[in-house]
Structures are given as C-alpha cells and as structure tokens.
Amino acid sequence: MRDNSKKNKTFNTKAAMVLYFLEGSKLLFALSILFSIMVTFLDMIGPKIIQYTVDYYISDTASDNGGSVPVYIGMIMGMLGKRDNVRDQLFYVALVVAGVAVLAAICRYLFRLLNTMGAENLIQRMRDRLFDHIMHLPFTWHGANHTGDIIQRCTSDVDTIKRFIAEQMSAFFRIIIRIVIAMYFMIGISPRLAFYSAIFIPIVVLYSCFFHGRIRDEFEKADTEEGKLSAIAQENLTGVRVVRAFGRELYEKERFEAKNETYTDLWIGLIRTLAAFWSSNDLISGLQILLVTAMGAVLCVGGKITVGEYIAFVSYNAMLTWPVRMLGRIISEMSKAGVSVDRLMYIMNSEVEKDREGATEPPMNQDITFDHVSYAYENGGTDVLKDVSFTIRAGKTFGILGGTGTGKSTLMYLMDRLYELPEGAGTIKVGDTDISDIKASWLRKNIGFVLQEPFLFSRTLSENIGITQKKTDIDMVKNAARIAALDETIENFAHGYDTFVGERGVTLSGGQKQRTAIAQMLISKPPVMVFDDSLSAVDTETDQKIRKALADNVGDSTVVLISHRITTLMNADNIIVLEKGRIAEQGTHQQLLDKGGLYKKIYDIQMQGI
C-alpha cells in the first residue's frame, strides 16, 4: 500500500490540482515563457528601426537625435555611422533588422524546445499520477464507473489540459507582454490613435466571457457523451465473443451508431457556437484594423504624425490584431480545459483505500471467523447477506454452496476487503484480529483468489502463470500447471509454455482460462486459497483430478471452495448452504444428506443427471 499522506491528498480548487501536475515542469515552462517574452520584445524592435530609418535617415522629418525613438534604437543605429553614410548604404539597416530576426529565431527555438519538453513532462506526470491513483481506488469505485469513460478521462481530457497549458497558457503570457509593449510604443507615437486601437480589447474580452459559459456547457455535454461512446466501444471489444455468440452484432452496431449520432450532434452544436464566436471575433478585429488604418492616414496627412510613425503604428497594430483575437480564443479554450480539469478532479479526489492507524500483519494460518455479518451493495439497499456467522478452520477445506445471488462471492470479497464491511454490520476476524486492523496489502498477499471468470493478460502462458513472481521460474510454472491439470494441454500447443494468450485470454477456452488462473494462484502458495466457482467450466473428470491434486499439494493451506456442484464440495471438512443471503444449513457432506434439507434436494437433482 502507498504512503497514506499521498493517498489522502485532495484538491479543493482546479488550480491546486494543475499545480500538483506541474511539479517537475514549472521551471521548463517558466524558461519557455521568458524566451517567449524575449521573442515578443525583439519582434517589436523591427517597426521602431523602420520608423527611425524613414524619419531620420530618409525623410529628414525627425530631429538629429532621433526624435522620440528609444535610446537603445538610437545606439544601434548610431553605430552605423552618420546620416549621409547610411543613406548611401541602407543595407546596413537591413543587416541590423536581420540580426534582430536571427536573435529572435534563436529565442523562438529555445521557447519551442523548452515548452515541448515541459508539455511532455506534464502529460507523463499526469498519466503516471492518474494511473497510480486509479490502481488504489476501491473495487466498488471501479464497479460504479465505466472503464471506457475512465480511459477517455485519462486520454482525451489529459490531452486537452496539456494543450491548454502548453499552448494557450504560454500564449496568454506572450500576448499580455505583446499588448503591453505594443501599447507602450503606440502611445509614444500617438495617444489618440492608441486609444482607437485599445478600445476594441475590452470588447473582445467581454464577448469572449459571454461565450465562455455556453462553450463550457456544450463541451461538458460532448465530453460526457464521448466517455459513454468509449464505454460502449470498450465493452464490445472486450466482449466480442459474447456479442458474436448471441448474434448481437446488429443490435450493438445500432446502439453504437445512436450514441455516436448524439455525440456528433453535440459537437456540431458546439462547433456552431465556436463558429459564431470566431467569426464575430474576426469581424471586430477587422473593424479595429480599418479604424486604425483610416484614422492613422488622416493624422499622417494632417501632419500629426510622421510617415515613419504611421508605418510603425500600423505595424504594431497588425502585431496586436492576432494576439487580441487569440486572447478571446484562449478564454473559450479555458472553458474546455475547465471541464477536463473537473473530470480529472473527480478521479483524483475519489477516496483511495487506506488502512487503519496501526494496521498489522498477523499470521494468516489461523481460523477465519464471520460473526453476524450483513452487507448491502448500496446504503439503504436490500441486504445481500443477512446475519451470517460461521468459522473457517485453519488448514481445513471449507465449502460454500448456494444459488446465483445468494452472496457466496460477496463473502469472499468481504474477507479480502475488496468490499469494506460497514460499521455495525458484524465482524470478520483472522484469529483474534479484525480484518479492518490488517493491512490490505498483507491480507491480499496471503489470500489467493481464483474467480469464475478469470482475467488473463496479453502475455505468454508461462508469464501469466508466473505473474506474481519477480522472475519467472519455469520449473515452478510447470509444477503449478501440473497441479491445475493444465500441463498436458499446454504441451499440445505448438509453442508450449511460450504460447501467447490473447487479450483477456480470448485464445483459450473457458476451462483452460480457469486452470491457468488456478496455476497462477498456486505458484505463490498463499496460506488461504479461495476457489470461487473456478471449476465450473471444466468437465467432471478434470474437476476430480484437480481436486485430488490440490488435496495432495496444498499442504497446511486453508482452502475455500465455492461451487454449484456438490461433487466439488463433498470432501470438504465443513459446508454451508446459502439461501437468500442466510445460512440455511451447515455441516459435513454426510451430515447435510442426513438432514434431508435443501442440500439433499440439490444432491438428488445433480446425482440424477450423473
């Protein structure tokens, strides 16, 4: 289990979570913004050099000291020589402009490099932290959330946040600096003309804020639908064999297309809103350019500004137009990023599993006692288990028989703390220790589980069987396969133990998957072994062979057998029969037969078939 200080970390604001993800990338982004500011400043020098050249060297409209031109421009131009010399060789001015451009290009390269490095570090940290957090969330949380939606949050939403921080946020600082520098130079040329240019900035910001809410709401709906669409796709891809077996291809196709149509309609609606926003943005920017160009020409003809100043002002205004438009778009993109941050906050703020203070690691080769245990999947819901009490003796074989929905598997999930037993709903103890006082990692390490529908990874058979081992020992793998009656089957495969298992074990039969899962558990030799209907897909002869091999090889381990088959349970030291969440009967196979109750009825039905 992880350190509790990490597990319990929650985020009260979006900014707090974003800053958490930015750890390790802050310096890279800060340096990239610094070089971005330098690029902006160097881009702004060009028009001033042109203004100075036109007014001082060419048209003589400025005074000998360069008029209102900044000192650093005068120093740069002064190094080129006297006015008459420069007039004859204007390519010197071109060299200065080219030098500034080269320096700007170097800074732009460093900005792009550092920004990209920061972005990739950011997205790596986001994925790592999300994966780590999700892996430690309770089993019940995973049951309540669609896998496809979780994947969509960890891919599409992560990418949206990365793009906003790496592109829009860095652009935001660059735009603010560009606006400030440009307005400084523009006011120095003509305060009146600068006012005409600046008056459009608050207009752009205000109507961008107006669209912000609409874009956010529509994007949130589209993003949610994308998660549902991903969930359908994920379910069908992982359950393709079931879909094919029941001929549900057409139904699932129509279901997917209906959801896809809803998702597409939402995106079209969002695009309409964005199109209205972008086109109005372009219209306002065009009006601003028109007004500045026209009023600047009037002031120039009237002698209020020089030709060089007019050229410089128009250049600065052109440099300002796109950033102002981008400022509006950044506000709209903020809506999308805000939705994605909310969706990731839902994951990161979900409470992870945690141990009680002072949780211990007691010996697991002790009696396991269920004392008046009741459990419901939802608060206030119907109890799946009702006042259940029994003891699993250490080193013995314990059987659980019951129909579907009687709570057989739930008992074992509670014992393994995959489900947490609420306060006041009874106790489960290992020896004298309540399982709530045992470290979950220790509990699960010592309780081996084989499920009715085991999950196998896309790896070789030997890797799947030895998955709990740091280094696969082929002799241990073969021994575990022999006990699980899988060795002969594997030897008949062309590649033997190196046979590649498809996703979720799709290339194996149900019985082969179950036996692989049994071997997978046996190789770790846990002191408690739970077989949850894990022999349901094998034939009776193989079932008997596996049970005999288990009896000869489990040693002192406690074995819990959950099954619908009485033949699987009949040799158990103790058997409980569940009915509607309660223990209907308890005893050995012969004792239960002698009672003539539910167990005897099930036995007679099953024996008739044999």
Element (H, E) at 373: strand 368-375
CATH number at residue 529: 3.40.50.300
Whether 340 and 390 map to the same domain: the answer is: no
CA distance 78 to 97: 14
Can you say how many angstroms the Cα of residue 10 is from the centroid of all Cα atoms in its chain? 16
CA distance 335 to 213: 7
Q: pLDDT: is 221 or 281 the higher one?
A: 221
Q: What digits encode the pLDDT tens for the residues 510-568?
A: 778 888 888 888 888 889 989 887 776 667 777 777 777 877 777 788 999 988 888 88
For residue 204, what pLDDT is reported? 75
In a domain, 66, yes or no: yes
Confirm if 164 and 344 have CB atoms less than 8 A apart.
Answer: no
Helices (H) and strands (E) in the chain, counts: 25, 10
Structural domain for 411, as ranges = 368-609
Whether 110 and 246 map to the same domain: the answer is: yes
Both tokens of 87, joined, read 């007039």
For residue 41, what pLDDT is reported? 80
Closest Cα partner for 494 from 507, 503, 477?
507
In a domain, 361, yes or no: no
pTM for the model stands at: 0.71
User: Alpha carbon of 245 to those of 88, 341, 454, 456, 511: distances in Å?
Assistant: 87, 40, 19, 20, 17
Q: What digits encode the pLDDT tens for the residues 47-84?
A: 666 666 666 555 554 444 444 445 555 555 555 555 55
Confirm if 153 and 347 have CB atoms less than 8 A apart.
Answer: yes
Banded model confidence at residue 93, pLDDT cuts 50, 70, 90? low
DSSP state, residue 438: B
Q: What digits encode the pLDDT tens for the residues 333-381?
A: 777 788 889 989 999 999 888 888 888 999 998 999 999 999 988 776 7
Both tokens of 20, joined, read 């958490």
For residue 24, what pLDDT is reported? 86
Whether 329 and 210 map to the same domain: the answer is: yes
**What contacts 209, CB < 8 A, 6 or more positions away?**
331
User: Alpha carbon of 122 to those of 27, 128, 384: distances in Å?
Assistant: 12, 10, 45
For residue 64, what pLDDT is reported? 44
Confirm if 218 and 266 have CB atoms less than 8 A apart.
Answer: yes
Q: Computed from CA positions of residues 400, 403, 405, 406, in that sequence, does the dihedral angle turn out positive or negative?
A: negative
CA distance 34 to 324: 20
- What average pLDDT score do residues 221-232 get? 80
Can you say how many angstroms the Cα of residue 457 is from the centroid of all Cα atoms in its chain? 20
CA distance 154 to 150: 6
Report the percent of the chain where pLDDT is more than 90. 17
CA distance 522 to 484: 8
- Inform me whether the pLDDT recorded for 309 exceeds 80: no
Whether 298 and 417 map to the same domain: the answer is: no
Closest Cα partner for 283 from 324, 315, 336?
324
- Inform me whether the pLDDT recorded for 583 exceeds 80: yes
Q: What is the mean pLDDT of the chain?
A: 81
CA distance 252 to 246: 11
For residue 53, what pLDDT is reported? 65
CA distance 29 to 126: 16
Burial of 84 (0-12, 13-18, 19+ CB in 10 A): exposed
Q: What digits encode the pLDDT tens for the residues 124-168?
A: 999 999 999 998 898 888 888 888 788 888 888 898 898 888 887
Packing angle, helices 307-348 and 14-21, rounded to 10: 90
Whether 539 and 474 map to the same domain: the answer is: yes
Q: What digits encode the pLDDT tens for the residues 384-399?
A: 899 999 999 998 999 9
SS3 per residue for 35-97: HHHHHHHHHHHHHHHHHHHHHHHHCCCCCCCCCCCCHHHHHHHHCCCCHHHHHHCCHHHHHHH
Neighbours of 183 (CB within 10 A): 16
Whether 338 and 375 map to the same domain: the answer is: no
DSSP state, residue 454: -
- Measured between alpha carbons, how far apart are the two ends of the chain, in Å? 48
Whether 396 and 297 map to the same domain: the answer is: no
Closest Cα partner for 145 from 219, 217, 230, 255?
230
CATH number at residue 245: 1.20.1560.10
CA distance 307 to 295: 13
Whether 308 and 455 map to the same domain: the answer is: no
The amino acid that residue 415 corresponds to is: M
Whether 18 and 86 map to the same domain: the answer is: yes
For residue 553, what pLDDT is reported? 76
Can you say how many angstroms the Cα of residue 384 is from the centroid of all Cα atoms in its chain? 33
Element (H, E) at 491: helix 487-491
Whether 139 and 264 map to the same domain: the answer is: yes
Neighbours of 369 (CB within 10 A): 18
Whether 142 and 21 map to the same domain: the answer is: yes
Domain boundary among 295, 318, 348: 348
- What average pLDDT score do residues 262-269 get? 88
Domain count across the chain: 2
- For the ranges 11-20, 36-45, 486-495, 506-515, the lowest mean pLDDT is seen at 506-515
- What average pLDDT score do residues 88-95 get? 63
The amino acid that residue 132 corresponds to is: D
Domain boundary among 294, 319, 348: 348
Q: pLDDT: is 272 or 181 the higher one?
A: 272
Both tokens of 150, joined, read 């979780």
CA distance 513 to 464: 10
CA contacts within 13 A on the Cβ side of 124: 9
Whether 137 and 243 map to the same domain: the answer is: yes
- Inform me whether the pLDDT recorded for 594 exceeds 70: yes
For residue 55, what pLDDT is reported? 60
In a domain, 354, yes or no: no
- What average pLDDT score do residues 194-204 get? 80
Confirm if 19 and 459 have CB atoms less than 8 A apart.
Answer: no
Banded model confidence at residue 433, pLDDT cuts 50, 70, 90? very high
Work out whether strand 528-532 and strand 447-450 pair parallel, antiparallel, or are unpaired. parallel
- What average pLDDT score do residues 87-96 get? 63
In a domain, 356, yes or no: no
- Inform me whether the pLDDT recorded for 3 exceeds 50: no
User: Alpha carbon of 372 to those of 73, 386, 388, 429: distances in Å?
Assistant: 87, 8, 5, 12
- Inform me whether the pLDDT recorded for 10 exceeds 50: yes
- What average pLDDT score do residues 195-200 get? 82
**What contacts 81, CB < 8 A, 6 or more positions away?**
92
Judged by phi (left if over 0) then psi (alpha if -120 to 50, else beta), residue 529 lies in beta
- For the ranges 169-178, 259-268, 522-531, 534-543, the lowest mean pLDDT is seen at 534-543
Q: Which residues pair with 585 in a beta bridge?
A: 577
For residue 28, what pLDDT is reported? 92
